[in-house]
Structure 1
Amino acid sequence: MTDGYEIRTALTEMDLDRVHHWLSTDAYWALGRTRDNVETAARNSVNVGVFRDGEQVAYTRVLTDHANFAWLCDVYVDRDHRGRGLGNRMVETVVELLEPTGVQRIVLATSTAHDVYARVGFTPLPRPQDWMIRLRDA
């Protein structure tokens, strides 16, 4: 990446303390998430982080079977680095990482960033009536 930002994908390079802070205090979908939860999720996902001067400034992860399906989640850019296209770059990286696997379906959920994902090729579900969810009681 130009402009001093660098994308990394090794779990060992992710600053999970920082990621936990972002998600548990500032991400509407993950408020209150525990540090253990963040670490377990990261260990079982493909991770993408953006770094500048050695400091992590953005994070996302994707759950995938590496054959058919992937779920993009926890896309977060530090407030001081927003507006620079870092979210798009991370999502583009995820798409590129999954390309060789043949994954045909990448899904995500968002209530606020539809335009961001549309720029990377995401569209609303073509048949939302076909999808179901089972939520665990709190």
Structure 2
Amino acid sequence: MVTDELINNCIQNGYSISTDKQLLDVDSVYYLLVNESYWAKGMPEDVFKRAVDNSICFGIYKDNVTVGFARVISDKATFAYICDVFISEEHRGHGLGKWLIHTIKSYPELQGLRRWSLATKDAHSLYEQFGFVPLADPNTWMEIKTPYITP
């Protein structure tokens, strides 16, 4: 779990988190996601930029360089979906993922929600620290899944 010591360590090591999209290097985040993640392969750049425009985005920065990222899709009243959580490889192992999820879950505009959701193939232990569990009744959820359409 995130402790004051972890947060202070991240800050003292020169990291910061912000939702200011003016700070976000969208091109480098896109590059990292499509080249280093399993879920964004094949995503057209214009689709990613539209997703950023319509989401609450959290960037992690060191020396004014974007080194981590997450998006939250929410109505800010009842529901939030966390996605595109990513820490660049050379900055992993410093607790930044924990700090990022803690910051998202503590964000003032996302308090009092009835449901948080996310999907992951490999980071269950990270999200379990914040109360995420497998769907209680997966039969109540449905989806339409369409692969990225590229020209």
Distance 2:32 2:110 in 1: 31
Q: 1:132 to 1:41 in 2, by over 3 A?
A: same
Match of 1:120 in 2: 130
Is residue 41 from structure 1 mapped to residue 54 from structure 2 by the alignment?
no
Verify the 8 A CA contact 1:49 1:56 in the aligned structure 2: yes
Letter in 1 for 2:66: Q
Is residue 66 from structure 1 mapped to residue 112 from structure 2 by the alignment?
no
What SS is found at the alignment partner of 1:38?
helix
Describe how 1:26-105 pairs up with structure 2 within 5 A: 26-97=36-107, 101-105=111-115
Verify the 8 A CA contact 2:76 2:109 in the aligned structure 1: no
1:103 CA displacement: 1.2
Verify the 8 A CA contact 1:22 1:78 in the aligned structure 2: yes
Match of 1:20 in 2: 30
> Structure 1: any 5+ residue segments left out of the alignment?
none
What is the identity percentage for the equivalent residue pairs of Structure 1 and Structure 2?
Answer: 37
Match of 1:9 in 2: 19
What SS is found at the alignment partner of 1:22?
helix
Q: 1:131 to 1:64 in 2, by over 3 A?
A: same
Verify the 8 A CA contact 1:69 1:106 in the aligned structure 2: yes
Q: Matched residue pairs, number?
A: 138
TM-score by length of 2: 0.85
Distance 1:76 1:35 in 2: 17
What SS is found at the alignment partner of 2:130?
coil
1:71 CA displacement: 0.5
